[in-house]
Structure 1
């Protein structure tokens, strides 16, 4: 029995009993009406309580980390935005495409699509819930490939740099400069024009001059220059982009929530000490009204001067609404890209206030609480050990192996770059959307 099969079987037994008991009771018309009442609207598109309950139950079966109901609400909002954007761009997925997506998803647990649907239904998740889950993913994949695919190219030099990076016994550090330009709905177009112009810069001096002029980060005074940074500290989506740069290259403008970012690679080096990998990152976010107004920035500086740990922020937030301060622990891949990038520059107890929310009306003060390293129990998998495993029974077929590695690295770099564009695009859709939660 596979891991997924075992997981779903155990959950389905208890859920089936609950459903059977529920069906023996007389229906409550008022409760049914409440169940199908919209509790969220996304650009006037409704999300019902029933959909949230169904998605939460699906996420529980899939053992998704975090609060299932909260995650369900977030995912369904994103799904509405993805479907709306796809339709606006003329993309409508067919039943055959959705079915193919269901089959691919099920195959991860060594099941057919029909088998997985039956197990889900046995645990109280309707087939339509699963289909909707797959449909949004398929639509979004088609849209992002069509919209950003032409911008993504991978050269032989990109692949070679990535091969060298993963094949080293030590770590890889990068020396970068940054420019992060805040946006609002009113300034979005002009900022995009400025960012495109900056992306064509080829000298470090010119990039630094633009950082001093436009960047909202605390590095602006030193021309956006950052210290040597382990590549593992960067958000996963940004690593592939950076590894694909040569010294002096500037990234394409990367859309974030409420900002556009550009990075210039100044240098890259190998170290003798392997880079750590992190299982979880704990951070706190304190929200300040006023966006990037001088009053809000002054308050952020004052908090920075008077706090040393995340626990200190509870004193700052005392007497204010609970929503003013949020603190939690997440896996690196679960952290929004803009937040993950800011956290990558911080040591525990340090803060950043480069980001905004609510269309620039709220300043976000981030503090890194700590990072939990992954404990490696097995020998690390490298390009060399992968090659040894793949060559078993095929000794001497070095050319085929080399091609396979090249294709895999090229696809990985391309996917990472495409994912970075997609995350930024989704963040912009969220920022522009009319989302009403009851």
Structure 2
């Protein structure tokens, strides 16, 4: 009997899935990822961006497996580690909530937790952990590979970080489904050029241009897609709707049985089913309805900054006072990310180690790599949104206050 299945994929042509992986993929907990869009509200700006966390997870497993094979051929991994890395990559996003990174913002604000922490819980305590154990895998070990553990540094970096399978898949997948032309990367060259030096993932110097191109693509995708003003408008609305409805709906209940029911459409349905007893319920329903019907907030002010502003509430109060518009109808959004992805331990990545076979490996600071150093250390955008009928007054007030 055939012990694998080939899945057709528009990015990688075919993704081969083996026995234990297939059992995990077929579990209800994992199938839920089909109902969570990869780019939350981006489909309201880029209509084809309907892809989900499900196919992204398959893609990351595929690339991580290729990277593991490349490193095994160079003597850094054993054969049995390849399957462990593939499983960890498959499960790296299993803890994501509805609307992907949008829900992450709610988790951070209300529970000071992340999808990684919930992912650890799901692997340990759900049927996925049982499947791993029955198949002879250590679920605690797989969890450490998936979500970062200092002992396995370069293995963690295969899954997340500046040379990761995660980034190599999402850039190409998001570029393909949005139609953005910025995400053309040579991931096969990078995979074949991976190396290890002092427990850290390194790169053969000949592939430096491919790495530079990938980091530049990521920067451009944040500007053109992830932080697009209309994409963020939809996300700001849904964020507000979830926040207002949470007391009634209990979305942030971290009980696994409850959490693993949460999907994009489930959350919207719960909000729309609320009664109209309080102003919070009515506002939550209005924002959810407007999100569905693409009646979005208008961006009236935008400013690129070198560092993230921590003054959102004060700015909102000042604009409301000057414009004489209810502050509940004014939204100050501060979007920010580092130019280069964080390490698996959520620290800033400052350098890359380059391998040349005739010389000693060298650690190059990003400040010495022209393409990377030309980008600011972090990308931060401050925007002010409001309802369409308030836009003129709020725009004038925002420009007066923020310059």
Measured against the shorter chain, the TM-score band is under 0.3
Point out which structure has higher relative CO (alpha carbons under 8 A, 6+ apart): 1
Larger radius of gyration: 1
TM-score by length of 2: 0.24
Which structure's residues are more often strand, by fraction? 1
